A and B are shown apart, each in its own frame.
Chain A
């Protein structure tokens, strides 16, 4: 690709210039701080190369929050642009188009998915009483593919130009003929690199959960979040290869003139649509099932009760995961596939409402006869129930194909999927982060700020998205950058924008809360910080932040809600007679370097700069070879060391409590 310098660096847009300057300043700032405080080595040794699931989880969450900020700023810009008719804010359509494309793609691929994977990393191994995941090296690799894939995608708006064909990247719109320039290549390669890591995570967690559970933890005794992690991982293994192949085919179309999905030479654009949603629909369950798991944990903890209908909950998620592969056509009922096909997919889609309904009622029944404490994680979980129900029932409305011909591609749809993605996934990300915060950082986030954030966000969310159902019914299509006064859409759009900014402020409170709590909140001393209500094994470790080997002695499980039962039976899981050596994996710098090469290779491909692409490929291979020939048997934490550490933790607790 022959590019002028001013095509390489995007110029001429004030927002983009602001972005470029702030990226430059932030980068310089980070380099300065790390150098000044001599933290480079610490960063490398303790974090970048870490194979500790908890640290990898934290890195996932931090990176996802940064991406949430990026995509959230996109959202605010779009809502500002739509606040009034013929708004000049963003200038031309092109700019809006790039923003909604990056907003949607980042939210799904670089926020929702990795945020939940981060929480899985933090909690799942602890919940099953394991010391780490099955493949710690692979876990580190997964994180770095996500990180560098995200970086590749994100630089597009300052270098080369952002993709603008929508997050669904329909062909032929996304082809070279209709989307010239490097933008769409960033989408293809950024997602490809990230997708590899997601697939690896799926495999990793299936093996971890099937193979590494503590003694006595049968499948039907697993915590609900672990169950959802398992099933989600299975969906990942089923769905992500489809994305990989589809992305590769579109990449070939764009880089090497194949004709899988093009207008020319008998390409089949509709094949892309099918492949995309064959992955895309299961993907939405990948980001909702773990959310269900998180809410199940939180609701049982703060209602102080066992989960109602555990078995039917497990069957419900299994049913949902199976059905999730049988409904993809509901994303294009309007393609005219014929009444038989549409009827089939209408009914299969509505069928998903059955297990989902069962789950809602089971959560409600869990509250019945409970002792409900309105802690911050709990209010998110309680807010989830009615808001998600609204998202769910409008989903059923969309599933009714004949009616969908009227909702499709409108704000009705936009509202629906934000109701499920925000009230489901994003509420769960906040709730889970707050719930497990003490496990990650040894303190609780401030509750007063937490409640402020919840109410502002929840109300803002409804103010933003509820009016959009009516905009949709009034014929406002999605993805338009402006509308006219005669359309009559001004009032509701304006209200919607106000709601968006309420959510923005709520998020700022969250960030402030992190700072405030770090400064002023008391440090937790026990492993069971939510008023002793903990039910599952992550709360059974000796200290608030578990030592890197998680459990000095692997607990033995006697039933569901293992830790709750231990407390009932008066068993202290950390009472240890004889300490034993613990075998732990070593840190590794290989995945980081390998993923940097993926980034370099991807960058070369984006611009058709073959030499750079080849350098990237060679680098990746060298890393693989290095890994294949390295003998790394991990290291042993001696019984003596474990004893010292555990006694230290005990002393600290005694001191605090004394």
Chain B
């Protein structure tokens, strides 16, 4: 795994896209203010301690001072002013990063990618390109990407620190996140929200590549990659770690986890997986690494989800 670390060494302060840059600016602004506050407190504290410590020849003791309206108004007003000053760029940025990020390419229409978490792996579907990848993500550089986030089971959080802040993936719901990569490269992405045993390793690479290279890759995948079937897909519902995979077709054809929160549990049954007390004597040691059979065909299910296309339904958009 390649991690691009910056000159100053801190990923979040060294963003490579417009979303992350806005957040970095906000962070730097706030750090500046906060350093000043801490300094003021430290200086006053030190000064008083040195000057008024009990000692021979102590001076200035006055036990009866117990307040001063003027001073108290001043130090109520100062925090109010600081909070106000910080609120404005905060609110501005909150709203701004919900919008399509500015792009320096002619293709300004955002690329849509569905990012679905499943214990403990990442499933990325490109509905327009009709391809799906597991545990890695290719995106065109510069072009904004709209991530539609959901989860098959536990709540996860989709995070690519160098591109921008995170957002939750929740089963039965869909959240959205815009990101954009300003430079080519491989970025470290991960689940930031604890999901149990396999959480620490629930990472993925984001490869930002030239638009033309991206299109070529898409065409190759459409042509050469094995086709995703429900039989293959169900194997990814079983908790465990898997390698990187690439498929043509997407699972959105038979399930959108943003609408159907129960799919994973049904898939467990089909796959014969049963949750087990981690302290049981026959419980596996650690997180299993799953071998996916990419030849597996489709499965017969009693309640076919296929009949209604998920996209037509009005998904539970968050709150």
A488 touches B9 (CB 8 A): yes
Which listed segment binds A: B59-67, B205-213, B290-298?
A: B59-67
State the CA gap A342–B97 with chains docked (Å): 12
Chain B residues contacting A405 (CB-CB under 8 Å) are: 23, 97, 164-167
For the complex, is B226 an interface residue (Cβ under 8 Å from A)? Answer: no
For the complex, is A658 an interface residue (Cβ under 8 Å from B)? Answer: no
Which listed segment binds B: A65-73, A133-141, A331-339?
A: A331-339
User: CB-CB contacts of A323-364 with B at 8 A, as 1s and 0s?
Assistant: 000000000101111110111001100110110111011101
Q: Smallest CB-CB separation from B189: which chain A residue? A: A475
For the complex, is A462 an interface residue (Cβ under 8 Å from B)? Answer: no
Candidate in B1, B54, B98, B279 with the most chain A CB atoms within 10 angstroms: B279
State the CA gap A267–B83 with chains docked (Å): 38
B155 touches A367 (CB 8 A): no
Candidate in A403, A473, A478 with the most chain B CB atoms within 10 angstroms: A403
A180 touches B192 (CB 8 A): no
Q: Report the minimum CB–CB distance from A3 to chain B (whole Å).
A: 8
Chain B residues contacting A338 (CB-CB under 8 Å) are: 98, 318-319
Q: Report the minimum CB–CB distance from A177 to chain B (whole Å).
A: 6
Please judge, given known A-B contacts A161-B278, A409-B166, A409-B193, whether A402 and B22 are in contact too, CB under 8 Å: yes
Which listed segment binds A: B105-113, B196-204, B216-224, B245-253?
A: B196-204
For the complex, is A269 an interface residue (Cβ under 8 Å from B)? Answer: yes
Which residues of A65-95 have CB atoms within 8 Å of chain B's CB atoms? Answer: 92-94
For the complex, is B215 an interface residue (Cβ under 8 Å from A)? Answer: no
Q: Report the minimum CB–CB distance from B310 to chain A (whole Å).
A: 17
User: CB-CB contacts of A471-503 with B at 8 A, as 1s and 0s?
Assistant: 011110111111110111000000000000000
For the complex, is A408 an interface residue (Cβ under 8 Å from B)? Answer: yes
Which residues of B62-113 have CB atoms within 8 Å of chain A's CB atoms? Answer: 62-68, 71-72, 75-76, 78-80, 82-83, 86-87, 90-91, 93-98
A409 touches B197 (CB 8 A): no
User: CB-CB contacts of B11-38 with A at 8 A, as 1s and 0s?
Assistant: 1110000001011001100110110011
Which residues of B228-287 have CB atoms within 8 Å of chain A's CB atoms? Answer: 261-262, 264-265, 275-281, 285-287
Which listed segment binds B: A114-122, A166-174, A447-455?
A: A166-174
Please judge, given known A-B contacts A402-B90, A409-B157, A475-B188, whether A336 and B176 are in contact too, CB under 8 Å: yes
State the CA gap A269–B316 with chains docked (Å): 14
Please judge, given known A-B contacts A93-B287, A353-B83, whether A408 and B155 are in contact too, CB under 8 Å: no
Which residues of A297-323 have CB atoms within 8 Å of chain B's CB atoms? Answer: 303-312
Q: Smallest CB-CB separation from A400: which chain B residue? A: B90
B161 touches A339 (CB 8 A): no
State the CA gap A483–B91 with chains docked (Å): 34
Q: Smallest CB-CB separation from B197: which chain A residue? A: A93
For the complex, is A369 an interface residue (Cβ under 8 Å from B)? Answer: yes
Please judge, given known A-B contacts A305-B63, A408-B166, A486-B1, whether A350 and B194 are in contact too, CB under 8 Å: no
Q: Report the minimum CB–CB distance from B163 to chain A (whole Å).
A: 11
State the CA gap A337–B98 with chains docked (Å): 11
Please judge, given known A-B contacts A370-B52, A475-B161, whether A389 and B93 are in contact too, CB under 8 Å: no
User: CB-CB contacts of A435-458 with B at 8 A, as 1s and 0s?
Assistant: 000000000000000000000000
A408 touches B157 (CB 8 A): yes
For the complex, is A584 an interface residue (Cβ under 8 Å from B)? Answer: no
For the complex, is A176 an interface residue (Cβ under 8 Å from B)? Answer: yes
Q: Report the minimum CB–CB distance from B148 to chain A (whole Å).
A: 11
B197 touches A393 (CB 8 A): no
User: CB-CB contacts of B32-61 with A at 8 A, as 1s and 0s?
Assistant: 011001100110110011001110001011
For the complex, is B144 an interface residue (Cβ under 8 Å from A)? Answer: no
State the CA gap A357–B58 with chains docked (Å): 29
Which residues of A93-114 have CB atoms within 8 Å of chain B's CB atoms? Answer: 93-94, 97
Please judge, given known A-B contacts A93-B200, A309-B67, A480-B200, whether A181 and B318 are in contact too, CB under 8 Å: no
Q: Smallest CB-CB separation from B74: which chain A residue? A: A361
State which of B61, B154, B200 has its C-beta within 8 Å of the C-beta of A178.
B154
State which of A179, A360, A474, A484 has its C-beta within 8 Å of the C-beta of B11.
A474
For the complex, is A10 an interface residue (Cβ under 8 Å from B)? Answer: yes
For the complex, is A401 an interface residue (Cβ under 8 Å from B)? Answer: yes
B79 touches A357 (CB 8 A): yes
Candidate in B44, B97, B171 with the most chain A CB atoms within 10 angstroms: B44
For the complex, is A505 an interface residue (Cβ under 8 Å from B)? Answer: no
State which of B3, B37, B275 has its C-beta within 8 Å of the C-beta of A176.
B275
Q: Report the minimum CB–CB distance from A311 to chain B (whole Å).
A: 7
State the CA gap A173–B170 with chains docked (Å): 11
B157 touches A486 (CB 8 A): no
State the CA gap A357–B279 with chains docked (Å): 48
Please judge, given known A-B contacts A353-B83, A406-B27, whether A334 and B166 are in contact too, CB under 8 Å: yes
Chain B residues contacting A182 (CB-CB under 8 Å) are: 277
Chain B residues contacting A402 (CB-CB under 8 Å) are: 22-23, 26, 90, 93-94, 96-97, 165
**Number of interface residues, chain B, beta carbon within 8 A:** 105
Which residues of A400-426 have CB atoms within 8 Å of chain B's CB atoms? Answer: 400-410
State the CA gap A166–B37 with chains docked (Å): 33
For the complex, is A249 an interface residue (Cβ under 8 Å from B)? Answer: no
State the CA gap A570–B97 with chains docked (Å): 67
A310 touches B171 (CB 8 A): no
State which of A336, A362, A401, A484 has its C-beta within 8 Å of the C-beta of B1.
A484
State which of A6, A308, A350 has its C-beta within 8 Å of the C-beta of B86.
A350
B200 touches A310 (CB 8 A): no
State the CA gap A356–B95 with chains docked (Å): 28
State which of B64, B66, B168, B287 has its C-beta within 8 Å of the C-beta of A336.
B168
State the CA gap A401–B89 with chains docked (Å): 11
State which of A166, A170, A335 has its C-beta within 8 Å of the C-beta of B318.
A335
A263 touches B262 (CB 8 A): yes
Q: Report the minimum CB–CB distance from B78 to chain A (whole Å).
A: 7
Q: Smallest CB-CB separation from A344: which chain B residue? A: B91
Q: Report the minimum CB–CB distance from B213 to chain A (whole Å).
A: 25
For the complex, is A258 an interface residue (Cβ under 8 Å from B)? Answer: no
A364 touches B318 (CB 8 A): no
Q: Report the minimum CB–CB distance from A157 to chain B (whole Å).
A: 10
Q: Report the minimum CB–CB distance from A405 to chain B (whole Å).
A: 2
B52 touches A371 (CB 8 A): yes
For the complex, is B10 an interface residue (Cβ under 8 Å from A)? Answer: yes
B27 touches A403 (CB 8 A): yes
State the CA gap A309–B1 with chains docked (Å): 57
Chain A residues contacting B38 (CB-CB under 8 Å) are: 386, 389-390, 393
B48 touches A4 (CB 8 A): no
For the complex, is A582 an interface residue (Cβ under 8 Å from B)? Answer: no
Please judge, given known A-B contacts A335-B175, A396-B34, whether A342 and B94 are in contact too, CB under 8 Å: yes
For the complex, is A382 an interface residue (Cβ under 8 Å from B)? Answer: yes
B278 touches A488 (CB 8 A): no
State the CA gap A183–B283 with chains docked (Å): 15
Chain A to chain B contacts (Cβ below 8 Å), 19 pairs: A93-B197, A170-B154, A173-B194, A181-B276, A263-B264, A264-B262, A304-B63, A334-B166, A337-B318, A347-B83, A370-B61, A385-B45, A393-B38, A396-B83, A402-B26, A402-B93, A403-B23, A486-B2, A486-B3
Residues of B within 8 A of A (CB): 1-3, 5, 9-13, 20, 22-23, 26-27, 30-31, 33-34, 37-38, 41-42, 44-45, 48-49, 52-54, 58, 60-68, 71-72, 75-76, 78-80, 82-83, 86-87, 90-91, 93-98, 119, 149, 153-155, 157, 159, 161, 164-168, 170-173, 175-177, 188, 190, 192-200, 261-262, 264-265, 275-281, 285-287, 318-319
Q: Assuming A92-B197, A170-B155, A369-B61, what are 11 further A-B pairs, CB within 8 angstroms? A: A92-B286, A173-B155, A351-B83, A354-B79, A361-B71, A367-B45, A367-B48, A368-B48, A372-B54, A389-B38, A402-B26
